[in-house]
Amino acid sequence: MKDVLSRIGIGSATVDTVLPTDTVRAGESVDAEVHVEGGSTDQDIDAVYFALETEYRSDEGYKDAIVDQWRLTDPFTIEAGEQRRFETTIDIPRHTPVTTRSTAVEIETGLDISMAVDPGDEDHIEVEPTRRTQAVFDALDSLGFTMHSSACETTAGSLFSTSANFVQEFEFRPQRGEFSGEVDEVEIIPVVDAEQLTVYVEVDRSGGLLSEMTDTDERHTKLTVEAPDADAVEARLAEAIRDLS
């Protein structure tokens, strides 16, 4: 009876991932310790696995997205009441979304058990931007902009040179400086790879109601960022915004 109950999750083995910090930068790593505790009966574990997850907005509503997934162990047997510890390093990919008020990222740890409910554990983490993306944020701050909102949205991958199902868009609004009163907002979409950051930029001008209704106030461009140099990025962004506004 205990074996039958464990297959539906009652008295089954449990898993818990312990992180030294819940804040990590995209493109970097965090050490972790995985605790597996046996339940009321012996169970064969096919694998301990991880999935890095978020969600994005589509025309059909919000959808779950797996940013990355990987396997930690080979098959093993956990005896009733037994405790095991596994140490590992979790790599956070560069393209992991930045966590904001509207964007959450979590690490799901699971036990793959054949013919049974997989026990799991979820840990929410705070993901900071890559250093090149942070340079873009710092440059916009120096230009007088503050972040207003952010969202992950579905997109055609080829449009933004990425194979992902979604991109993360950030909306900044001018609060001071030369662009205050000149543009309504600047929206950016950072797309990262191993060599550089491509930033897609859209500028909404303060053009009045008529231009806003006809969408003629929106202008687009893109620029590449090869180094996390906020001063250099600031000069290029300022020039781009001036050209588009």
When divided into structural domains, the chain yields a total of 2
Are 201 and 219 in contact by the 8 Å Cβ rule? The answer is no
For residue 91, what are the domain limits?
Answer: 2-128
Based on the fold, state whether residues 120 and 136 are members of the same structural domain. no
* Residue 225, token pair as written in the block: 């960022």
Q: What is the pLDDT of residues 31-88, one digit of tens each?
A: 999 999 998 888 899 999 999 999 998 888 889 999 999 999 999 999 999 999 999 9
Based on the fold, state whether residues 152 and 122 are members of the same structural domain. no
Neighbours of 156 (CB within 10 A): 9
Q: Which amino acid is at 233?
A: V
CATH number, position 18: 2.60.40.640
Query: Which of 69, 103, 128 is the C-terminal boundary of a domain?
Result: 128
C-alpha 193/C-alpha 124 separation (Å) is: 24
Nearest to 65 by CA among 29, 106, 36, 25: 106
Based on the fold, state whether residues 113 and 8 are members of the same structural domain. yes
Based on the fold, state whether residues 144 and 72 are members of the same structural domain. no
Q: What is the pLDDT of residues 122-169, one digit of tens each?
A: 999 999 999 999 999 999 999 999 999 999 998 765 456 566 788 999
Work out the mean pLDDT of the chain and round it to a whole number.
86
Query: Which of 108, 128, 148 is the C-terminal boundary of a domain?
Result: 128
Are 148 and 171 in contact by the 8 Å Cβ rule? The answer is yes
Based on the fold, state whether residues 116 and 11 are members of the same structural domain. yes
Which run of H or of E encompasses 156? none
